[in-house]
Amino acid sequence: MAKVEIYATAICPYCAMAKQLFDRKGVEYTEVRVDLDPAKRQEMIQKSRQRTVPQIFINNEAIGGYTDLVAIDREQKLDDLLV
């Protein structure tokens, strides 16, 4: 199974929707709360070059945010990335 990381905050609806998508697919993920740890926010920015949440990584590859995740899923490419 792929390593999935989601950099998120508690109040972000897109973060919640990304986690729900992974939950529906039965995919385990690690949530990194950037609102609780400023160092993790800096880590996210350094890894993704983005400041917004969620930032999603599959096997250490930056996928982008929720809309990027949904686009990959609609193209039926997400399941292949998650194997």
Three-state helix/strand/coil letters over 12-70 = CHHHHHHHHHHHHCCCCCEEEECCCCHHHHHHHHHHHCCCCCCEEEECCEEEECHHHHH
pLDDT tens for the chain, 83 residues: list them: 899 999 999 999 999 999 999 999 999 999 999 999 999 999 999 999 999 999 999 999 999 999 999 999 999 999 999 99
CB 68 within 8 A of CB 14: no
Q: What is the CATH number of the domain that holds 25?
A: 3.40.30.10
Report the number of distinct structural domains present in the chain: 1
**pTM of the entire predicted model:** 0.95
Host domain of residue 66: 4-81
